[in-house]
Amino acid sequence: MIDVEKLRHDLIDYFGTAMAEFPVAMMDLSKIEKANEEELIALARQNGFSLDKYLIIDDKGHQM
């Protein structure tokens, strides 16, 4: 299972930073804010994010 809200937050940070140089990134921010889990994962992969960082692990070290 993926921590979708953490991923969404990091994608917003990523594209928010890009807006300073590329105003077109504002369109991507709108997509991120409205995206469902599958769409967020696709956007993350397209932009080189490692999804391992967003895996939810239980207290025994197992992926949930």
pLDDT, one tens digit per residue, over 2-45 is 999 999 999 998 887 766 666 666 677 888 989 999 999 999 99
Residue whose pair of structure tokens reads 């991120």 in the numeric block? 32
Asked whether the beta carbons of 12 and 25 are under 8 A apart, the reply is no
- Domain locations in the chain as residue ranges: 4-54
Structure token digits, residue 40 = 């967020």
Asked whether the beta carbons of 7 and 40 are under 8 A apart, the reply is yes
3-state helix, strand, coil in the chain (%, to 5): 60, 5, 30
Q: What is the pLDDT of residue 63?
A: 82
Structure token digits, residue 41 = 């994962």
Q: What is the pLDDT of residue 18?
A: 66
Distance of CA 17 to the CA centre of its chain: 14
